[in-house]
Chain A
Amino acid sequence: MDIRRPPPRSSSGGVEPRFRQVGFVTSAEPEAEPAPAASPPAPDGLSTGARSPVMIPPPLIPDHLHAPVPVPVPAPASESQSFMPSSPPPASSSRLEAASDLDDDDDVDVSWARPPPPALPEPYKRYLTEKKNEDAPASFSQKPKLSRAERRATQEAQRAAKAAAKEAGLKSTAMASDVNTKLSKQPKTAKTSLKKDMTQVNPPVASDKKTSVHPPDKDRKKDGPQPRMQFDNAHRVVKAKKRSIVNQSEAQNRVELFRHLPQYAHGTQLPDLESKFFQPDLMHPSVYKVGLQYLSGNISGGNARCIAMLLAFREAINDYSTPAEKILSRDLTAKISSFVSFLIECRPLSISMGNAIRFLKNRITKLPLTLSESEAKASLQSDVDRFINEKIIVADKVIVSHAVTKIRDDDVLLTYGSPSVIEMIFDHAHEIGKRFRVVVVDSRPNLEGQGLLRRLVAKGISCTYTHINAVSYIMHEATRVFLGASSVLSNGTVYSRAGTASVAMVAHAFGVPVLVCCEAYKFHERVQLDSICSNELGDPDAISRVPGGKSSSHLKNWADNENFHLLNLKYDITPSDYVSMLITDYGMLPPTSVPVIVREYRREHFIACTIDLLHWHGLLNHLGQSELPASKDCCFDTEQTPHMCADAKSKAFSALDMCSSPKGRGEPQHCCRLATPMGTLIPGSLQPDGPSTSPFSELSENVVRN
């Protein structure tokens, strides 16, 4: 680039002034750009200006043009114009090349070096829109052939315009096109036109932003469970505030990196919620109660929160009656959604709760229309009970029975915080007479470990209590590390209480096996590489309060100091490298097997769908619109066993087989088109893939290193 740079500079009077001017002027508005340039480009260094940080693609073309044409050839501008639109959109590889080229450049800003990957399409689009803008003046200026003197005049005008803009305190300057048109005009007029152009420029930028934000949102809605709200997007925050029940004011000084996460001034929500306590039809009482308990921290811990929520929903369903002219499945889903959004306002949902909600909503939408209201309610309530029982309580039991096998006599077990399942494991191991010692590692501000410690000591288990800053010291003694998890993501990453990662890493360094216990309903297909993008912020005051003496109240009025931020992160992620083994209700597995569980687990939902699908088909059949003699019986048969037992599963598949067999008259496509509750289903996906009769057999063989 250094070599290449002089030619443009020397040819600044040469080939295609419009290009460079386009590039220059747009880039010369550093503040208007998303990524700020450190210094305004030198007035004569037009090409350096053209490589302003944001405009990645635009300068690309000049570069391409320059390379083959090093000598200023007085080519007609029209040629370059005609070339440019016809040129294929620059391949990403070439763009990267250019970027890396520029990377080497000494003069280039640091911000150059790391163009945010998702932003890449944006400048390109922007480039396109700008190109459109540029088209008109280009064709216009094509007529007068520019002499050298005129070009110099152009430059002078530009310089003057810039100076004027600076003087006027205008942070942003404008497009080249107008400078082109107003070649020999006075700076003043140029300035006014600059303003005019600014208004022109800004809208496309804004619209670009929108378009760049929206498509990923849509995608996420399809794939992910909940599109997370980004709380640094002021527009959306305002929108969300309008709908919210809890009147929240956001905390003032928040840490920059975590602005996308919600953080509210603590202590304002509860009184507000209390004052609205008796407002009629606000929320179902039990849901309200759970929300209050979340808000005040009375209920914490993944399982407890999830169970409390489900029980509240269960009660709400019990008291529910369908309004006139509404369908239960639709109306109840909307109702549940409103409950959920209320709960989110009280405290962000955990991933496990998201899974549970998804399950419940799925069950609601899959309710057969033939069911009466009371039957539907009873079925939903039993579904909720089943979920709690199977996915949490029995799952915990299974985990305990697995984990206990990993505890030997004279073990020293280290745990962090107060995970409920770990406590059960210790209790059970103690009950069956294993001799072991427990090291409870704790951390501020919650000091949950103290509760665990108290309960363990009360049961007669010998314990050691320490804080996390001593973990490297105490790790010598430990022979096993048992950790709980809020969620396990599909790349094996463990999402858990902040501090877990440190404990796991220290254990890894010391060669102590790390066993993470987590119910499978907490698994999630999301992949997360850092704990920044998705996390929860706690009350910052909680860490500013230091117990003991007045001398430690240095952080008393921290909120008044705008240079000071407190960060109370609730979760962190532990890379799967540091996890020796995952103990779940499906057995003990390496963290790499999480995707399998997630897939199988999803399939359970999925089979539920297929059964309902078949039911639909049967219904249709019943109406006489279609005939499906082979699978009819099966359809209703499976319908009668809504439980997701293996039995029903096999039945479902056998029914499917019949369905999809070429002899059967009802083809899978047929029901797919019918399957409104399912959305769009690809017929092929109905095929059970692989030996699915015992989906976990492969897993159970998946013996874990220990």
Chain B
Amino acid sequence: MDFQVVVLAGGTSEKLSPLVSKDVPKALLPVANRPLLSYALDLLEASDLKDLIVVVEGQEAAQLVGAWVSSAYLDRLRVEVVAVSEDLGSAGALRAISKRLTANDILVISGDLVTDVLPGAVAATHRRNGAAVTALLCSVPVSGPSDSASSSGKDKAKKPNRLNIVVLDKTKHFLLHIVSGTDVEKDVRVHKRKIQAVGQMEIRSDLMDAHLYAFKRTILQDILEQKEAYRSIRLEVLPHLVRSQLRSDPSGNGTTVEETGNNAVLSSGNLQCLAQHRVIAPSAFNQDVLSRSRGGHRCCAYIATKSKYCHRLNSIQSYCDINRDVIGEASHLSGYSFSAQNNIIHPSSVLGSKTTIGPHCILAEGSQLGDKCSVKRSVIGRHCRIGSSVKIVNSVVMNHVVIEDGCHIQGSVVCNNVQLQERAVLKDCQIGAGYIVTTGSEHKAESLARK
């Protein structure tokens, strides 16, 4: 279908600091015991997109990701893992590989997207409308926009300020204006020209950019070349495209059918124009706006329905949410088959007596639990050794973690090789890899990592 796919897998994100480290780049962060990137790759594979370019920030991270991809997707996908230097941003990463892009349209998907929206739907919308860019918009997760920081407590009051403003036309196909959370001030300025052109618009704050785009290659490359300062697709490239879509000069000829008819020799471009005669519903755009397809371009949006799951993993809060959802309500994404009790207990794991594993839990291979433990809505990784009388609720415990007797873990993320000594109590904490929590210590809403 003449599409090229670029997966922006990121590097070692600062936002996820204790969870992500040099050894575990963001792409390989386990979500329900699967690397994060596998969700995006599986989605693409299911849509018959087998030729991918995975862009990773940093050489070491790229090596790790490359090793994992080549082992996991050996026969299934043809993946090219490209390393770019760090701190380029998403636009910079695209700019770095822009020489490799040859197809007509480019599908850019963020590696941290966990969704079941089909990329084909976005691509089809893109093609259908002949758009310059089509963005996937999804409804904002219930726990607030993921831009808001993880330590949410006091931020809650500020949340209304951090909304994304999306302006759509009446048919909900065309993106007229987009302001992302951080840029929202008191007022949102929408250009008069747009209102004149459209007549009626819809301003919504319940949508967010899911970071899945279909770009027209030529336009994308032009922008990347011209605006070298642009670093982020979401914050800079897309708003720029949206802003400039009505910018072509008003005198720019009403290229209607009559004019094309006057030309004795018709170029193919004019024919296209004729074919697109009233391509857009006339109610959406005025005639003069419509006919300016030469100078202007269109930015379209594909709005995921409410029933679809669509989240980005870009904060610790969202990491917890996605872990919970993938083993809970969006369990079809996990790729596992859940047991009758709605949980997964690997046959090689060992449970002590009177230990209960509740629904929406995953217990991976080789893990051992002592007596009288209780696990609820949590993910436990491989080869963990958990003592007796341990309570784990709403938490993620990664691989090779040692939890001694009497520990209580709630709403926390415990990374690889962490040791929790006896009677440690964690609430809403993130424990970095290799950290040792001492006996009897209590932590609340803290982020602990080895120095």
Contacts and interface: CB of A to CB of B under 8 A. Distances in A.
Contacts of A282: 1
Contact of B266 (A274, A303, A389, A455): A389
B272 A288 contact: no
B413 to A, nearest CB: 34
A568 interface: no
Interface stretch (B10-18, B31-39, B281-289, B426-434): B281-289
A420 B281 CA distance: 14
B274 A307 contact: yes
Interface in B224-266: 256-258, 260-261, 266
B193 to A, nearest CB: 16
A299 B287 contact: no
A275 B47 contact: yes
Contacts of B187: none
B48 interface: yes
A184 interface: no
Contacts of A274: 118, 120-121, 123-125
Interface string A486-503: 000000000000000000
Contacts of A389: 266
Given A292-B128, A393-B261, A396-B257, A458 B286 contact: yes
B282 A451 contact: yes
B345 interface: no
Given A276-B120, A288-B1, A389-B266, A451 B48 contact: no
B128 A280 contact: no
Contacts of B128: 289, 292-293, 296, 298
A396 B288 contact: no
B329 interface: no
B190 interface: no
A275 B118 contact: yes
A304 B121 contact: no
Interface in A257-302: 270-271, 273-280, 282, 285, 288-289, 292-293, 296-301
A299 B275 contact: yes
A271 B121 contact: yes
A430 to B, nearest CB: 11
A289 B127 contact: yes
A546 B125 CA distance: 27
Interface string B98-119: 0000001000000000000011
A298 B280 contact: yes
A280 B49 CA distance: 9
A454 B48 contact: no
A31 interface: no
Contacts of B288: 458
A424 to B, nearest CB: 6
Most A-side CB within 10 Å, residue of B124, B258, B276: B124
Given A276-B120, A304-B277, A388-B271, A424 B257 contact: yes
A427 B291 CA distance: 16
A53 B202 CA distance: 63
Contacts of A289: 127-128
Contacts of B272: 311
Contact of A280 (B48, B271, B286): B48
Interface string A301-338: 10110011001000000000000000000000000000
Contacts of B127: 277, 285, 288-289, 292
Nearest to B125: A274
Given A393-B260, A393-B274, A458-B286, A385 B266 contact: yes
B129 interface: yes
Given A307-B271, A311-B275, A278 B123 contact: yes
A397 interface: yes
Contact of B120 (A278, A298, A300, A307): A278
B430 to A, nearest CB: 38
Nearest to A279: B48
Given A277-B123, A278-B49, A307-B271, A298 B261 contact: no
B258 A427 contact: yes
Contacts of A451: 278, 281-283, 287
Contacts of A385: 266, 271
B3 interface: yes
Nearest to B256: A427
A512 to B, nearest CB: 27
A307 B121 CA distance: 25
A396 B261 contact: yes
Nearest to B121: A274
Interface residues of A, number: 47
A655 to B, nearest CB: 30
Most B-side CB within 10 Å, residue of A273, A275, A278: A278
B2 interface: yes
B121 A275 contact: yes
B279 A293 contact: yes
A592 B2 CA distance: 49
B278 A304 contact: yes
B383 to A, nearest CB: 38
Contacts of A270: 124
Contact of B121 (A277, A388, A455): A277
B275 A278 contact: no
A182 interface: no
Contacts of B47: 275, 277-278
B1 A277 contact: yes
Contacts of B274: 304, 307, 393
A404 to B, nearest CB: 12
Nearest to A395: B261
Nearest to B260: A393
A475 B438 CA distance: 92
Contact of A311 (B104, B124, B271): B271
B159 to A, nearest CB: 32
Given A298-B128, A396-B261, A420-B257, A278 B282 contact: no
B79 to A, nearest CB: 16
A393 B121 CA distance: 34
B122 to A, nearest CB: 8
B394 to A, nearest CB: 34
A277 B278 contact: no
A420 B128 CA distance: 21
Given A278-B48, A280-B48, A298-B129, A454 B275 contact: no
Contacts of A341: none
A472 interface: no
A299 B277 CA distance: 8
A450 interface: yes
A271 B279 CA distance: 20
Nearest to A451: B282
Contacts of A278: 1, 3, 47-49, 119-120, 123
A428 interface: yes
Contacts of B124: 270, 273-274, 277, 292
Nearest to B119: A278
Nearest to A312: B275
Contacts of A293: 128, 279
CB-based closest 9 A-B pairs: A451-B282, A277-B120, A274-B121, A274-B124, A278-B48, A308-B275, A292-B128, A455-B287, A289-B127
Given A275-B47, A393-B257, A418-B282, 7 more contacts: A274-B118, A277-B118, A298-B129, A298-B279, A388-B266, A420-B277, A455-B282
Interface of A: 270-271, 273-280, 282, 285, 288-289, 292-293, 296-301, 303-304, 307-308, 311, 385, 388-389, 393-394, 396-397, 418, 420, 424, 427-428, 447-448, 450-452, 454-455, 458
Interface of B: 1-3, 47-49, 104, 118-121, 123-125, 127-129, 256-258, 260-261, 266, 271-272, 274-283, 286-288
28 contacts: A274-B124, A274-B125, A275-B118, A277-B47, A277-B120, A277-B123, A277-B124, A278-B48, A278-B119, A279-B48, A292-B127, A293-B128, A296-B128, A298-B279, A303-B277, A304-B279, A388-B266, A389-B266, A393-B260, A396-B257, A396-B261, A420-B257, A420-B277, A427-B258, A447-B283, A451-B278, A452-B282, A455-B287
